[in-house]
């Protein structure tokens, strides 16, 4: 799609941290709107947001004329080119499936960041109740469904798979998130146990749940290089803070978990060949013995092979707003889904993964 082509008409569902920033990019008052995307509808699940202008929800001083609604049928009736869905996590799978299926059955493609297990729908841990309704909706409407994220997502599918394509041999590949959660507003207490006593068992410490929620890119990477894994294993470690640690969400009290480290490992012939690693801290000085990037808050890929390759990616705001790197990563996540719309529109109906997409260079981003 060229910058001079007709704009893609999109409905954005979800106006939390990610969705609100994407709305601001689409409306983009500094450049009189995005050259590739036209916002035609906004969907919300919070009744308090119904009727609010998209400009307000984006935190902009403008009136867009697009009012938020929770009426799925009304949004489908707009006949957009795509639904860009920034709904809640897979903890709310039924609601996500309800919304997305309505668009897919109407022949409207969906690009989403909500259901991270869908990054690789073929993962055996995906329950049929999550997969079959979308498969059927895509077939009924002749539409496509693409799910992405940063991790799980492009930090451990697009980045490492691109780098593996530069190698003659890969002995192991590790994709790591090394991020300070001090300014992160997402959910991590019950899910990861950060802020909880060390004896608390978070949901993701349960191996099957961890693999299902975060591990989809492990079998994806294996499939990409023609490998069938023998097993997928996990590890989980906790670090307890000796002092109180302030966060944007409150205080992590002394004696509570302030950092976690976990891995999801693809095993082949008795060795770990594909590893996803998370080190998430409250404060860069937490768990000082655990891995860290050469700069704070990075996503790192380490390949041992011929040649060996390592790469770090950092997300930052340099606009003077002081917004945290974690928030910059959230915007990158949202833009990956939005920028994929033209490519997804050109693909056959059904599930779409990172392996199906062509290069998505961000047409229209330089203006």
Position 324 in a domain:
no
Q: What are the φ/ψ torsions at residue 22 (nearest 5 degrees)?
A: -65, -40
For residues 127 and 248, membership in a common domain is answered with: no
Whichever domain contains 131, its CATH number is 3.40.50.720
CA distance 325 to 154: 16
Whichever domain contains 242, its CATH number is 3.30.360
Give the residue carrying structure tokens 């294996």: 222
Position 184 in a domain:
yes
pLDDT averages per 10-residue partition of the chain, 367 residues: 78 96 92 91 97 97 96 98 94 95 98 96 94 98 97 95 97 96 88 97 95 95 96 98 96 98 97 97 96 94 98 96 90 97 98 97 88
Instruction: Note the pLDDT of residue 4.
Output: 62
Instruction: Note the pLDDT of residue 1.
Output: 57
Instruction: Note the pLDDT of residue 282.
Output: 97
Angle, in degrees to the nearest 10, between helices 17-27 and 325-339 = 60
Strand pairing class (298-306; 271-281):
unpaired
For residues 181 and 301, membership in a common domain is answered with: yes
Sorted by sequence, the CB contacts under 8 Å of residue 226 that are 6+ apart come out as none
pTM: 0.93
Position 360 in a domain:
no
For residues 144 and 166, membership in a common domain is answered with: no
Angle, in degrees to the nearest 10, between helices 93-105 and 128-141 = 10
Position 20 in a domain:
yes
Instruction: Note the pLDDT of residue 31.
Output: 76
Domain region containing 136:
8-148+340-352
Secondary structure of the chain: what % helix, strand, coil (to 5)?
A: 30, 25, 45
Given a contact cutoff of 8 angstroms between Cβ atoms, the answer to whether 8 and 108 are in contact is no
Number of domains in the chain: 2
């Amino acid at each position: 799609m060229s910058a001079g082509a007709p704009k893609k008409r999109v409905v954005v569902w979800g106006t939390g941290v990610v969705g609100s920033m994407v709305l601001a990019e689409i409306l983009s008052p500094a450049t009189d709107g995005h050259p590739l995307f036209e916002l035609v509808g906004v969907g919300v699940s919070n009744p308090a947001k119904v009727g609010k202008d998209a400009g307000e929800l984006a935190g902009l001083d403008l009136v867009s004329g697009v009012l938020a609604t929770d009426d799925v049928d009304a949004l489908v009736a707009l006949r957009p080119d795509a639904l860009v869905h920034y709904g809640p996590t897979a903890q709310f799978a039924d609601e996500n499936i309800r919304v997305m299926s309505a668009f897919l059955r109407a022949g409207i493609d969906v690009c989403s960041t909500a259901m991270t297990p869908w990054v690789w729908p073929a993962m055996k841990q995906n329950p049929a109740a999550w997969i079959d309704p979308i498969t059927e909706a895509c077939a009924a409407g002749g539409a496509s469904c693409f799910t992405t994220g940063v991790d799980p997502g492009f930090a451990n599918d697009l980045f490492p798979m691109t780098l593996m394509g530069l190698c003659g041999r890969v002995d192991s590949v590790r994709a790591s998130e090394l991020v300070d959660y001090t300014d992160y507003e997402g959910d991590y207490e019950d899910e990861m146990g950060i802020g909880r006593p060390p004896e608390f068992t978070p949901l993701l410490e349960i191996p099957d749940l961890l693999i299902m929620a975060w591990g989809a890119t492990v079998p994806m990477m294996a499939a990409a290089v023609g490998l069938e894994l023998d097993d997928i294993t996990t590890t989980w470690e906790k670090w307890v803070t000796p002092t109180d640690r302030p966060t944007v969400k409150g205080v992590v009290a002394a004696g509570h978990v302030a950092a976690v480290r976990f891995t999801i490992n693809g095993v082949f012939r008795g060795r770990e060949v594909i590893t996803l690693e998370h080190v998430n801290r409250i404060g860069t000085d937490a768990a000082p013995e655990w891995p860290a990037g050469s700069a704070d808050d990075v996503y790192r890929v380490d390949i041992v092979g011929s040649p060996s390759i390592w790469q770090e990616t950092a997300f930052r705001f340099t606009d003077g707003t002081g917004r945290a790197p974690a928030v910059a990563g959230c915007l990158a996540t949202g833009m990956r889904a939005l920028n994929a719309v033209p490519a997804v529109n050109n693909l056959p109906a059904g599930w779409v993964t990172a392996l199906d997409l062509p290069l998505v260079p961000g047409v229209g981003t330089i203006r």
